[in-house]
Structure 1
Amino acid sequence: MTEAIPAYALYGDGDPASVPSGVHAETIRARSSALGWRIGAHRHGALYQGIWIASGHAQASVEGVEADLPAGSFAFLPPLVVHAYAFAPETVGIVVSVPSSVLAMGLAAAPGARGALARPILLPAAGICRPDALAEAQFLFETILADHAGFALGRDATLNARALLIALWFAREAQEVAGAGEDQAPRRDLAVVGRFLSEVEAHFLEPRPIAVYARSVGVSVPHLGRLCRAATGRPPLGLVHDRRLIEAKRLLVYTGAPVGEIARRLGFDSPAYFSRFFRDRTGRSPLAFRQAANEAPTKAPNGAPRQDGSESRNEVGGG
């Protein structure tokens, strides 16, 4: 049943407001080895994920369909898709996690690719069609992992560009593999939620009523509510608030802006209203959250190294 499937921002983290603000890459071992090489069934609200099995083996379950992924296989999962992995011990590979906001601009210029990436793509090594595709994908996964581990000039821009290239690689391969016609109703529902999340990403700083969001994706407010709850476990307004909270955390940690200025940027009528909003969702005032973050320099709210070059322990990956 849908209600039994956890809707994580990051695997194992039930906080929907912890979606990373940037591209994240890690090895399969980094997360899966501590979990017995098994990643339970879950879904992500606003996160695309690509995975490469370099050596070893994985058994994937995607929307209840089992798939065998031997060495050399790839998988790409859009937001909201239920998935799980059982890796053979010591499997080697890379997981790349990309917030939908990062891909939105690039995919806007490639409408055909957006459609191809709206559904899961599973590519066993034997199913890769283009002659140079395997080497191309391996290079992209290896370099994005290396870029993520460093902090070179233009790191974020490079990660975003490589993430788009990986997504386009999957889209091209998907075009080469004819998809069987299935019942499209569940996918249409997920597509509506996906469009809503894209609208939220574009307009969360505006005082936009849910009715306007619903019109923009072509459904009624009650229907949008049912779809969002079924797919993410959250109501539409809750998803908007989650996105505003992510931005609030980023501004508190990465800028020195006063709380009043942050409240204004986020569209709150007053600093007091913003402080209540923040405390209700985090249990701390904005200033207490900022102080705690400053006292723990190895922790960054988006899973990326901080500006001083130290590393964060907030990981994404493993499905």
Structure 2
Amino acid sequence: MSLPPIEIKPLVQLIAGQDWRVSLAHDRPQHVIIWITRGQGRLLLNGTRRGVGTHNALTIPPHTLFALELGRQGSGMVALIPDGTEIRWPTRARQLRVRDVDSIGEMTAIFEAAHREVTQARPLAQDAIDAHMALMSVWLRRQIALPDHLPITMNAAARLSARFCERVSKNYADGLTMADHAAALGVTATHLTRACKAATGRTAADLLTERTLYAARIALTETSVPAQDIARHLGFGSAAYFTRFMQQHTGQTPTALRKAARQTH
């Protein structure tokens, strides 16, 4: 079975005027490479929250929980690469703060050239995109190998938060309670909540809620699956409970969210 095409686009197109598409804690099935070209903000990655800014490269493997709050002045480029390509991509999430002028120019040029191939659709465009992605992979692996980009040592709270984020990515739709997650991690729910709050600024319940909310919003805005089926898939006991959940966190019912999305498109 052939893989979906690689997507190269400005970050603003990924957000599509809806900040929740990147600001809610979520994961994606593809490798996500984000190159920030302007602005500052906050990043949730590897179970910790940290600052993010201009000329930061983010490498996010498939099914890795993350959230990005960049602000209205922020901009950048993003590559969404299907899992399973022959190109070697980092297997661990990284935030690379790039300061070398030549390296900054190289990454910017790779993204710009790949994006031109996507938008111009010339003959052999896919071959050209693959070649640019291979160069991006080399660039990333060279940066990761630099002493400046050695992994940050994580304290106990951050390590526990990272393990919980892995569980959220895999089990957000299973209807598990916070006590269930805590027991699986060998801690109490109170300890898990404190650790996540210390590492991310969000409680464990916040992270789980955001991942569920993201899945619900994607399903409502990008599919025609009935709301009651979405509710069932996400582990809600009833459609009414799902409606209350969406109203509480968005101010709108599932029906209203879906209608608004259709009007936008």
TM class by shorter chain equals 0.5 to 0.7
Residues 164 and 270 (structure 1 numbering): CA distance in 2 closer, same or farther, change over 3 Å? farther
Contact 2:33-2:58 at 8 Å conserved across structures: no
**Deviation at 1:282?**
1.0
User: Residue 223 and residue 110 in structure 1: after superposition, are their counterparts in 2 closer, same or farther (change >3 A)?
Assistant: farther
Match of 2:10 in 1: none
Q: TM-score, normalised by structure 2?
A: 0.61
Which of 103, 106, 111 is the aligned partner of 1:141?
A: 111
Deviations 1:201-233 (A, max 9, x none): 121111223344345556543333123223333
Counterpart in the other structure of 2:44: 45
Q: Which structure's relative contact order is higher, taking Cα pairs within 8 Å and 6+ residues apart?
A: 1
RMSD of the TM alignment (CA)?
5.1
Q: How does 1:202-217 map to 2 (within 5 A)?
A: 202-214=170-182
Of all paired residues, the percent bearing the same amino acid is 23
The alpha-carbon deviation at position 44 of structure 1 amounts to 2.1
Tell me if the contact between 1:26 and 1:95 (Cα under 8 Å) persists in the aligned partners: yes
Whether contact under 8 Å (1:103, 1:164) holds in the other structure is: no
**In structure 1, how many angstroms separate the alpha carbons of the residues matched to 2:36 and 2:101?**
19
Q: 1:270/1:293 Cα in 2 relative to 1: closer, same or farther (>3 Å)? A: same
Which residue does the alignment assign to 2:143?
173
Deviations 1:228-284 (A, max 9, x none): 223333211221111111111111111111111111121212111111111111111
Separation (CA, whole Å) in 1 of partners of 2:208 and 2:186? 18
C-alpha deviation, 1:193, in angstroms:
2.7
Partner residue of 2:197 out of 203, 210, 229:
229
Higher mean displacement: 271-280 or 143-152: 143-152
Equivalent pair of 1:46/1:197 in contact (CA under 8 Å): no
Q: In 2, distance between residues paired with 1:210 and 1:232?
A: 17
When the two structures are aligned, how many residues end up with a matched partner? 230
Task: State the alpha-carbon separation in 1 of the partners of residues 162 and 81 from structure 2.
Answer: 13
Distance, in Å, in 2 between the alignment partners of 1:162 and 1:195 is: 34
| 1:191 CA displacement | 4.5
- Gaps (5+ residues) in structure 1? 1-9, 33-38, 48-61, 88-93, 153-158, 298-319
**Cα deviation digits, residues 266-313 of structure 1 (max 9, x gap):** 12121111111111111111111111111121xxxxxxxxxxxxxxxx
Q: 1:124 aligns with which of 90, 93, 100?
A: 100
Q: Which moved more, 1:266-275 or 1:223-232?
A: 223-232
Picking from 5, 12, 17, the partner of 2:24 is 17
Unmatched runs of 5 consecutive residues or more in structure 2: 1-14, 60-65, 123-128
Partner residue, 2:237:
269
| Equivalent residue number for residue 8 of structure 2 | none
1:26 and 1:183 mapped to 2: Cα distance?
Answer: 20
What's the CA shift string for 1:6-46, capped at 9, x where partnerless? xxxx8x95894386967587884xxx5xxxxxx34x31225
Please give the alpha-carbon distance, in whole angstroms, between the structure 2 residues aligned to 1:164 and 1:195: 31
Q: Work out the CA distance in 2 between the residues paired with 1:160 and 1:192.
A: 37
Taking structure 1 as the reference length, the TM-score comes to 0.52
- CA distance in 2 between counterparts of 1:259 and 1:149 reads 35
